[in-house]
Structure formats: C-alpha cells, structure tokens
Chain A
Amino acid sequence: MTDFIPNFWQQIEEPQAWLIFLFPLGAFLVNSLIIRPFFNQYSKLSGWITVVSLTASFVLSVYAVGSVAANDGRSIGWASHEWVEVANFKMTVGIMMNSLTALMLLVVTGVSLLVQIYSMGYMKGDSGYSRYFAYMSLFTASMVGLVMSSNIVQLFVFWELVGLCSFLLIGFWFHKPSAAAAAKKAFLVTRVGDFGFLLGILYLFSQGDSFTANNLNPLEIRDIEKAIGLGTVISSSVAGWIALGFFLGAMGKSGQFPLHTWLPDAMEGPTPVSSLIHAATMVAAGVFLVARFFPLFEASPVALDTVAIIGGVTVVFAASMGLVMNDIKRVLAYSTVSQLGYMMLAIGVGAPGVAIFHLFTHAFFKCLLFQGAGSVSHAVGGTFDMRYMGGLRRVMPWTYATFLIGSLSLAGIFPLAGFWSKDEILASAQGQAGFIPQAVFGLALIAVTMTAFYMFRVLFMTFEGDYKGGADADPDVESHAPSNTPHESAWSMLGPMVILALLAIFAGFVANPIVNLGAIPEHWLVHDFLHESAAKFNLGIAAISTFAAILGILLAYLMYVSKTISAQTVVSSVRPIHTVLSRKYYFDELYEDLLTTRVFYRGLAGALDWFDRCVVDGLVRVIDNFGRNIGRLIGQAQTGQVQSYGAVLSGGVLVILGVLLFLK
C-alpha cells in the first residue's frame, strides 16, 4: 500500500516531533526577546530567522507524514508526560501523531513557510517588521502545538493561543481604529464559541468516574476514542452534549453561521495574515477539532446532524454574501466561510477524511488567492476595492496566471485540486441516505454555482477591462503611496504564489487519485492514509458539479466581460435582495445594535448597574450612616476636659464600690 514511500523514512522519534513545535516557538522568542528590543535596526534578520526555522519545521513535518504513511497511516504512539497530578486527578502533555496530525502539520508548516517568504516582500519597510514575524512564528507554533496535542487541556491552551495570535495580527496596525475594532471583534466572537468548548471539556471531565472505572483518563484524546469504542463508558446523549459544546468552539474558530461575523472583518490585518488565517491556522483549527473528536460526534446522530445543517447553511449563506461584495478580500473571506461550511458538511455526513482532504487542497488555493489579492493591492497603490481595478492582466501576467489557477481550483474545475476534494464532499453527502444529507447536498450544489460566479466576478473585475485608477480613485483610501502605475510584484511574493499554484493544480490528483497513479494507489490520501473507505468518485455528480461551476463562470463572463447582461439591470431588478446581501443579512446590526447595545449593555448591564448602585451601595450606605451617627453621639462625651474625665472615673469607682457592697 505504501510502496511509494522511500525506505529512508524511518520511524520519527518523539524529540524530532517536538522540534516541529519548538522551531517556530524559538523563532518567536528570538524575534521578540532579542531582535526587536536590541537589534531593531537589523529587523530584516527576523524574516530570515522565521523562514529558516519554519523550513526546518516543514522538513520535519514531511518526515512525520512519511513515517505515519510508512506505518500505514496508523498512529505512532508516545507515552504522555505527567504535567499535574493531584490525588486521582492526572493531567498530561504529549504528542499524538496520527495521520490527521501529520497531514495538518504538513499543511500548517508548509503554507506558513510560503506565507513567511511572501511576507518578506509584502511587509518590506513596515516599522513593525520584527513584531510581525514574532507574531507570525508564535501563530504557527500555536497551531502546530494545537494539532499535536494529546491532551484536551493542552489542546485548549494552544486553541486560546491561536485566538490570541489572530487578535494580535488582525490588529497589527492597531493605530487604525477599524483594525483595532476588527481585532476586538474577532477575539470576542470566537470567545463565545470557546465558552461552549470549555463547557464541553468540563462536562467531559465530570464524567471522570466512569472513565477511571475503565482505567481511562477523560482528558486524554486517545482515551476518548477508546471510551466511545467500548460503548458503555458514556451514553449517546452525554457524548452528544459534549460534541455540541466542542462544535460551538469550532463554529467560532471556523466562522460558521451564526458566528461568522468576525472573519470578513479580520481583513483589516496585513494580507499575508489573512492568507495564513484562512488557509492553515485559525479557521482550520475548528474543522480540525471536529475531525479530531469525530468519534464523539459519531456516537450521537443529533450532533452529527447539527454539524451537517450548520455546514450546509453556512455554505450557501456565506457564498450569497460573496456575490455582492466589492472588496476583493471580503469576497475571499466569505468564500473561506463557505468552503469551511463544505468541510463541516462533509464531517456532518460522516466523512471527516474527505473534509480534511478538502482542508488540504483548500489551504493551497485559498492561500494563493489571498497572496494574489495582496499582490494586486500592492500594484494599485493600496486599495482592495475591485471597482477601482481592472485591466491588470496585461501588467501582472504572473499574478493573473496564478490567480486564475486559484480561481479555477476553488470553483472546482477539472482537473484542479479543488475539483477532486469538492467532488468527494458532494459524493459523500449524496451517498448518505436520509433527508438531511440529501438537503445539504442540494445546498452544496447550489453553492458550487455561486462559488464559480463570485470567484470569476473577482477575476474579471480585477484583471479584465480598463484600469480604473487604483487607490488614487478610491475615496475611502486616505493615505497611500504616491500615484504610480500598476506593476508586477517582487519575486519574493511571486515565488510562493507559483509554488502554491502548482500545488493548487496537482495536490488533489496526486495525493488522492481516482485511479492507481504509478505507485500511488487509488484514493490513497482518504482511503489508506486517513482510513475512510466510504468516499468514492462519482462520475454523475462530477458532471453535474462541473456543469454548475461552468454555469457560474459563464454568468460572470456575460455580466462582467461581454456585458451581454447588464450588471446594473440585474442589481436593480433584485434591489431588496441585493441590499440585504450587501448589508450582510444585517448580522452586524443584529449583534451590535440589538444584542450588544440593547440586550447586554442597556438591558443586562443596566440592570446590574442599578442593582449595584441601589441595593449593594445602599446597604453599605445604611451601615455607614449608622456607624457615623453612633460615633457622633458618643463623641459628645469627648470634651478634652481632664477634670470631667476624672469626675466620671471617680463616679464609676463609687458605683462599682456601691455594687460590690450591695452584693455583699
């Protein structure tokens, strides 16, 4: 099965696995503790340090994938290390190296490495150059730590670190109020999900007794799988509640409906950050979490259906908003939300391996598309508004070519990577009996057309037609580089894009071919590596989805290139729908004006404020007044006249004397 893995891939050892995590962490420490405070004039160094350490991590990750593959995709186990031990309570840290971990490591370190190389060109001359690379390496280290964790608490620590890093990077240009607000929003919205995750962990922990009765530890991820396997440790409903808690966390991180609002705003950060967040780190964490704890979800049909429904709704919901956005990065952001919906949907219909396959291919083309957007924005002077672009095909041939490949891959056109993974998802959904899988299959199919349409709308608006002035013409851009003509980007930016474009073409077919491809067996990645047998290639569905995608592309062509259909006419004929879409279904208004301002700020916080002022403070004031008045009364006796004290004293002695005599 794994003949094509060369023999020199021996079993990876634990220290090497730890190094995958320690290299980026080391880069973070060097950048933040040495370069930035002491050698800031040599900040160029921090870019190199990050790239070199991530290269090392990446090589070790390839090694890890090879080792796991040579082990037939089974997990390589290392004993966990003791962290905290109090009486019966044990907490450990360790590495869980199975096929899911190894594949995620490959995606995270590989994409992150390409993003760092791209960043060296993109962030050139930024005053926070060192800080940027320090955050980026910490971000990568956290994500690597997250996927390797063998303990839920360890995983949760890295989960929160990933959230923190995305906060720091989205708000990287914190002097811009919009960036600071976006960072805060990302942090708070994901916090809502994290609360669910934490509740799930606590509920799981409360089941500790039945785990220990079977000699299992509820916080060990492997033990959870074993417990589900035994079938008697936790009941289906308990597993379902825990799974739903975990899924809430995943919804926050992966921007699933209705916690999606932070992801489009996260565009305020530097573009390479978006490309990293959207491809390999932050949002992938949510899908990874659900895939990691899939046994829990599988044990509860309700939880699985919830995942499928939320995924299916998100797919169409996000794609519909992508249709009308004018900001190139926002379209890509909604596209990410929609694609994450595909992954959730796949998990929901019981195919986590297929979801991870889509995560794998999506990482490449989405990273590529964001880098293309950054390249375009550099060329036109800093704006991301597509209405002021156009005609860039002639001046930026490399960016155009790679962007086209990315768009085709995302739209799911044969034979690019996106086609294969999206098709497996559609086939898995269609292959499941029952109303919910069939319904989400329908939603996913609708979204295929929408995806193709919005992606090619971006492509045509940006690269075709006439140039419309770039940042100089955009009234929303306040400060930008002095007006310049569009130009192709530097090779430090184009290089990673070309590599990603190649991956966006080949990653799907080579890793998971539908026929035996030389030494690589059919469906290797999903069947042999991720151990999921259900997924099959379905020619009929492939034909339908390709037709749907081409329909979308054709529509975009007719509206934005040949102008056979006037975009204005279409917009004005569906004016209300267009307004709702471009206002993002009023979710921001719902959350900010209604939920935050009215319910929380005025309602809940107002009530608590009243309680605090009137009841708590009132009680204190009553006690205070009582004491003060008593004191004032007694203070009257304090005259300062020694003689009156003396009189009282002698009077007192007389009284005592009298009492004593009387008692006698």
Chain B
Amino acid sequence: MSLENFLLVGAILFSIGMYGAISRRSAVVVLMSLELMFTAVNITAVALSRYVLPAGLIFDPSTTSDLVTRSLLTGHVFAIFIITVGAAEVALGVAIVIMLYRNRETVFVTDANQMRH
C-alpha cells in the first residue's frame, strides 16, 4: 500500500462530504456530510504521519528517540483530537437542529437565512 492510495481515499471522502454539506437541504444530512469530511482529514493525517518523516529528523543523528516518537505520533494525536471535537460538534449541531425544528418547524438549512438582514 502506498501513501497515494490513502490520500486518494481521503480526497474522495472529503469531496463527497463537501458536496453533501453544500448541496443538501436537510440539516441532519449536512451534519453527516461534515462527519465525512472529518473522517477524510483523519485518514490523511494518520497516513501522512505513517509515511512521511519530518525533514528535521532525517539527517540529524543526534536526535533522541523521545523526539522521534513525538514527531511520528503527531498525526495520530491530531486524529484523536478531531474525533473528540467532531463528537462534540455533532452533539451541539443536533441540539441546534432540534431547536431550529421547534422554533421554525423545519430542518432545512435554506430556511435559516436570517443572517442576511
């Protein structure tokens, strides 16, 4: 498996997510699309972390193993963070959708256009 495959999958997922977020009227589907985009970014981050060595580490023999470990795990840590933030975001997003429905009896994002005024 090469890095390109992972990046390709990430890019496809991201594009699908973005298309969904832009084109779908239902707020719930938009939230789901956002989750797709998060996932795409996670895949990309972890893949890059696994395949690409930071430039500073390559030709420097004096680096400690501790620094190497930290550098190599950066993408993974990012992924964990994004998953956590995504969970929180969904919780908040669904709450907003519920409030929107209670007040306006709709879950279409196209109807929530008060910001124009």
Minimal beta-carbon separation of B24 from chain A (angstroms) = 8
Contact B112 A639 (CB under 8 A): no
Contact B116 A643 (CB under 8 A): no
Q: Return chain A residues, CB-CB under 8 Å to B112.
A: 642
B117 touches A (CB below 8 Å)? yes
Contact A643 B23 (CB under 8 A): yes
Which of B18, B23, B30, B117 touches A640 (beta carbons < 8 Å)? Answer: B117
Which of B109, B115, B117 touches A643 (beta carbons < 8 Å)? Answer: B109
Which of B18, B110, B115 touches A650 (beta carbons < 8 Å)? Answer: B18
B52 touches A (CB below 8 Å)? no
Minimal beta-carbon separation of A446 from chain B (angstroms) = 86
Contact B113 A640 (CB under 8 A): yes
Interface band, chain B: 10 to 19
Which of A638, A646, A650 touches B116 (beta carbons < 8 Å)? Answer: A638
Q: Which residues of chain A in 626-643 are interfacial with respect to chain B, using CB atoms and an 8 Å cutoff?
A: 638-643
- What are the interface flags for B89-112 relative to A under an 8 Å C-beta threshold, 1 for contact and 0 otherwise? 000000000000000000001101
Minimal beta-carbon separation of A255 from chain B (angstroms) = 69
Q: Return chain A residues, CB-CB under 8 Å to B109.
A: 641-643
Contact B22 A639 (CB under 8 A): no
Contact A641 B22 (CB under 8 A): no
Interface band, chain A: under 10
A623 touches B (CB below 8 Å)? no
**Alpha-carbon separation in the docked complex, A643 to B30 (Å):** 10
Q: Return chain B residues, CB-CB under 8 Å to A640.
A: 113-117
Which among B30, B113, B114 has the greatest number of chain A C-beta atoms within 10 A? B113
Contact A650 B113 (CB under 8 A): no
Contact A646 B22 (CB under 8 A): yes
Q: Which residue of B lies closest to A650 (CB)?
A: B18
A663 touches B (CB below 8 Å)? no
B48 touches A (CB below 8 Å)? no
**Alpha-carbon separation in the docked complex, A556 to B110 (Å):** 104
Contact A639 B18 (CB under 8 A): no
Q: Return chain A residues, CB-CB under 8 Å to B21.
A: 643, 646
Q: Return chain A residues, CB-CB under 8 Å to B115.
A: 640, 642
**Alpha-carbon separation in the docked complex, A638 to B115 (Å):** 9
Which of B18, B30, B113 touches A641 (beta carbons < 8 Å)? Answer: B113
Interface of A: prevailing SS: helix
- What are the interface flags for A12-41 relative to B under an 8 Å C-beta threshold, 1 for contact and 0 otherwise? 000000000000000000000000000000
- What are the interface flags for B16-40 relative to A under an 8 Å C-beta threshold, 1 for contact and 0 otherwise? 0010011100000010000000000
Q: Which residue of A lies closest to B23 (CB)?
A: A643
Q: Return chain B residues, CB-CB under 8 Å to A643.
A: 21-23, 30, 109-110
Q: Return chain B residues, CB-CB under 8 Å to A639.
A: 113, 116
**Alpha-carbon separation in the docked complex, A640 to B110 (Å):** 8
Q: Return chain B residues, CB-CB under 8 Å to A638.
A: 116
**Alpha-carbon separation in the docked complex, A641 to B30 (Å):** 13
Which among B22, B112, B113, B114 has the greatest number of chain A C-beta atoms within 10 A? B22
Contacts A638-B116, A640-B116 hold; do A647 and B22 have CB atoms under 8 A apart? yes
Q: Which residue of B lies closest to A648 (CB)?
A: B22
Q: Which residue of A lies closest to B18 (CB)?
A: A650
Minimal beta-carbon separation of B47 from chain A (angstroms) = 19
**Alpha-carbon separation in the docked complex, A638 to B114 (Å):** 11
**Alpha-carbon separation in the docked complex, A294 to B6 (Å):** 106
Minimal beta-carbon separation of A654 from chain B (angstroms) = 10
**Alpha-carbon separation in the docked complex, A517 to B72 (Å):** 126
**Alpha-carbon separation in the docked complex, A646 to B17 (Å):** 12
Minimal beta-carbon separation of A394 from chain B (angstroms) = 92
Q: Which residues of chain A in 601-644 are interfacial with respect to chain B, using CB atoms and an 8 Å cutoff?
A: 638-643
Minimal beta-carbon separation of B66 from chain A (angstroms) = 36
**Alpha-carbon separation in the docked complex, A647 to B24 (Å):** 12
Q: Which residue of A lies closest to B15 (CB)?
A: A650
**Alpha-carbon separation in the docked complex, A643 to B23 (Å):** 7
Minimal beta-carbon separation of A425 from chain B (angstroms) = 85
Q: Return chain A residues, CB-CB under 8 Å to B22.
A: 643, 646-647, 650
Q: Return chain B residues, CB-CB under 8 Å to A642.
A: 109, 112, 115
Q: Which residue of A lies closest to B24 (CB)?
A: A643
Minimal beta-carbon separation of B113 from chain A (angstroms) = 3
**Alpha-carbon separation in the docked complex, A377 to B38 (Å):** 104
Q: Which residue of B lies closest to A638 (CB)?
A: B116
**Alpha-carbon separation in the docked complex, A643 to B114 (Å):** 14
Minimal beta-carbon separation of B19 from chain A (angstroms) = 9
**Alpha-carbon separation in the docked complex, A650 to B114 (Å):** 22
**Alpha-carbon separation in the docked complex, A519 to B36 (Å):** 124
**Alpha-carbon separation in the docked complex, A597 to B55 (Å):** 89
Q: Return chain A residues, CB-CB under 8 Å to B110.
A: 641, 643
Minimal beta-carbon separation of B48 from chain A (angstroms) = 17
Minimal beta-carbon separation of A8 from chain B (angstroms) = 92
**Alpha-carbon separation in the docked complex, A485 to B117 (Å):** 83
- What are the interface flags for A388-411 relative to B under an 8 Å C-beta threshold, 1 for contact and 0 otherwise? 000000000000000000000000
- What are the interface flags for A29-65 relative to B under an 8 Å C-beta threshold, 1 for contact and 0 otherwise? 0000000000000000000000000000000000000
Minimal beta-carbon separation of B14 from chain A (angstroms) = 10
Instruction: List 5 contacting pairs A-B, 8 Å CB cutoff, sorted by A.
Output: A640-B115, A640-B116, A641-B110, A642-B112, A642-B115
Known: A641-B113, A643-B109, A646-B22; 9 extra A-B contacts, CB below 8 A, are A639-B113, A641-B110, A642-B109, A642-B112, A642-B115, A643-B23, A643-B110, A646-B21, A650-B18
The 8 closest A-B pairs by CB, nearest first: A640-B116, A640-B113, A647-B22, A640-B115, A643-B22, A646-B22, A638-B116, A650-B18
